[in-house]
Chains A and B, each alone.
Chain A
Amino acid sequence: DAGVTQSPTHLIKTRGQQVTLRCSPKSGHDTVSWYQQALGQGPQFIFQYYEEEERQRGNFPDRFSGHQFPNYSSELNVNALLLGDSALYLCASSFQGSDEQYFGPGTRLTVT
């Protein structure tokens, strides 16, 4: 039973560029949440997708957008990258109505 997978593992981008991160949820899960974890901090909620719609959003600007596909996988897009966007981006999956969230290994994004 595969857990949550994310790609790529690492990514280096230049300020002003755009980036797309990908996530496949744990088998049987239908809800995907994205979190940003800055160095030395706890993860911060970005948004959550269920039934291909964004249904909850944290305190992040519109430069952060996402998508969920019919197979429940998800993408996180960040436009106009800033140096402060450098962080570990985590995807978590869950089953709708359940509190338990399972995290993937994350994508380390470095913006130079």
Chain B
Amino acid sequence: QQQVKQSPQSLIVQKGGISIINCAYENTAFDYFPWYQQFPGKGPALLIAIRPDVSEKKEGRFTISFNKSAKQFSLHIMDSQPGDSATYFCAASTLSGYSTLTFGKGTMLLVSP
């Protein structure tokens, strides 16, 4: 049973374009939604996160859009650069005080020069 579904599995975007990755969740108890970026041979790095009390959060070229009623959230990468080429994971956790993350399966992004 996959609690966080992520799409697409892979994505190719031209330099300067917008990369969009989508996630959907099932557990309505989830209330913290981070995105992680992972380069080959490295651990995941926290990129940006959102809580369901806001519909959008922006940090530099990265934006999370959140739709609580649809139980969906997405990552937008504006002005995508070749250095953004990596695997991106969405995740979710509950505010149980223990904060254990449930991850999507990942999206491999390639930004072509």
Contact = CB atoms under 8 A, between A and B. Distances in A.
A50 B96 CA distance: 14
Q: What size tier do the contact residues of chain B reach?
A: 20 to 34
A16 B106 CA distance: 31
B60 interface: no
Given A100-B46, A100-B49, A103-B45, A42 B104 contact: yes
A99 B99 contact: yes
Contacts of A48: 98, 100
Contacts of A58: 100
Contacts of B106: 40-42
B46 A101 contact: yes
A43 B100 contact: no
Given A97-B97, A99-B93, A45 B43 contact: no
A101 B99 contact: yes
A56 B49 contact: no
Given A103-B45, A104-B43, A105-B43, A45 B102 contact: yes
A42 B89 contact: yes
Contact of B99 (A4, A35, A94, A104): A94
B43 A4 contact: yes
A45 B91 CA distance: 11
B77 to A, nearest CB: 19
B43 A90 contact: yes
A56 B100 contact: yes
Interface of A: 4, 31, 33, 35, 40-45, 48, 50, 55-56, 58, 90, 92, 94, 96-106
